[in-house]
Structure 1
């Protein structure tokens, strides 16, 4: 038995011991694989919950709905306004902690309504050691991280997903739209709209791995793409500038450092998750 197959067996053994589970669902590769495995082990005794908000890219919501339909997952979508939480709107460095606390309250309410004892999410071994205040919050609220307990990392998740012919096995990681705004700069709905629509436009131009980061209340948009995409971005410059200026961005810049997941976290140090 290969290494990841042994880990998959451990994952299934964890889930089979539950009467029913609620899965924090986003439509990304991590939560999707967890949901599919849960359905395979528990049948209909699973519930995926997508907490939709202005922080969630519209493309992610659309994909989540499509995936749930394709794989027959039980999905419930609920609306949430995280900007009503002062620490989230003010974009403090622990923003994600407070945001996840709010989401956990919603998940717990739904779990209680459906008599579900266990709430799970797709946090995995690759998330350990990164700045993840949200994971600290979910652990405090009793959310289970079965991938971590089974020793499963991101590469394992992608390999398992590929082996079971999951179409999104190589889907780039996504993140909430607030992560595109510097810490301590107040988050406004108008800024989130610019980021969401701007990145969707870049995706349509086939920049699958990209970020549009806003500075100075949206006055400047800093685009991150992998270095091998620089030439293509320059060729598409006129269309990109026109689109972003149409959204309200005054200055459009290409970050010569290239694509960096969590680039704003790199300016503030690191907080290790030891959950």
Structure 2
């Protein structure tokens, strides 16, 4: 099956996650490395391990890799309900600038049919900018993406079920310090507790897991010791 019939070249919004990695793999397989590139946002709301993962993916597939920063509007920092819309608008806008500068015909992302089941205000940007979503067009889900991304050969690539750090801040203004603290905590816990989410409610942190699991008293103690260095109160969901 061909996924890029309408395009001769493209640049993929590469987050370092499974979905965008799968799209980059499909693009390289069909269009070749010379006509495909990847672009990764390196703002503070993006986990550093994901940025490193994106670099490894781009290198493993042999494509050019562009990094950039974007400047979301004030609504993002005010932590409004649809902050993801304002964030993604700034990110996608920058990728289109890169595409125009270097002559890539299409901008692609990793959206798939499973994303349609969630509240994702950032999805509106895809239509507004004309982003091409190969997985969505091919009616593929996250399991399909996992299969495709699993064919990328590199021992150090680590795929985790992730969302950006800004989604962790549930109340109050989004600041770089709060984002950095979330990253410090999750970096220490992520590999032993896959799918962990530290939700910042100001003085209180609530611990959730994307992947449901049972915690022992020792697990709770370990997590509490790490999180308690940054928050006055730790709660487990």
Tell me the TM-score normalized by structure 2: 0.90
Alignment correspondent of 1:235? 218
Aligned to 2:178: 191
Deviation at 1:181, TM superposition (A): 1.7
What secondary structure, in the 3-state scheme, does the structure 1 residue paired with 2:15 have? Answer: coil
**Aligned pairs for 1:28-43 within 5 A:** 28-43=17-32
- Given candidates 203, 206, 222, the residue that maps to 1:222 is 206
In structure 2, runs of 5+ residues without a counterpart are: none
CA root-mean-square deviation: 2.1
- In structure 1, distance between residues paired with 2:222 and 2:158: 27
Contact 1:224/1:254 (<8 A) preserved: yes
Q: Do 2:21 and 2:149's aligned partners in 1 also have CA atoms closer than 8 Å?
A: no
Q: Equivalences for 1:153-232 in 2 at 5 Å?
A: 153-162=141-150, 164=151, 171-182=159-170, 185-204=172-191, 206-215=192-201, 217=202, 219-225=203-209, 226-231=211-216
| Count of residues paired in the alignment | 234
Residue in 2 that maps onto 1:151: 139
Once residues 102 and 93 of structure 1 are traced to their aligned partners in structure 2, the CA distance between those partners, rounded to angstroms, is 17
The alpha-carbon distance between structure 1 residues 99 and 228, as it changes in their structure 2 partners (threshold 3 A), is: closer
Q: 1:69 to 1:243 in 2, by over 3 A?
A: same
Partner deviation per Cα, 1:205-237 (whole Å, 9 max, x = no partner): x1011100010x2x1111113553411xx3044
The counterpart of 2:233, out of the listed 251, 258, 262, is 251
Matched, 1:78 2:68: yes
- 1:54/1:81 contact within 8 Å kept: no
SS in 2 for 1:66: helix
The TM-score normalised by the length of structure 1 is 0.79
Deviation per residue, 1:118-143 (Å, 9 max, x gap): 11100001111311110111221111
Report SS of the residue matched to 1:77. Answer: strand
Tell me if structure 2 keeps the 8 A contact 1:221–1:252.
yes
Structure 1 residues without counterparts, runs of 5 or longer: 1-8, 256-275
Alpha-carbon spacing, 1:139–1:236, altered in 2? closer, same or farther (3 Å) = same
- Distance (Å, rounded) in 2 between the aligned partners of 1:239 and 1:59: 22
Q: Which has the larger radius of gyration?
A: 1
Aligned to 1:24: 13
CA distance in 1, matches of 2:81, 2:194: 27
- Of 78, 98, 114, which aligns to 2:102? 114
Q: Is the 8 A contact 1:50 1:78 kept in 2?
A: yes
Q: Secondary structure at the match of 1:208?
A: coil
Change (3 A) 1:252 1:133: same
CA gap of 1:160–1:36, structure 2 versus 1, over 3 A, is: closer
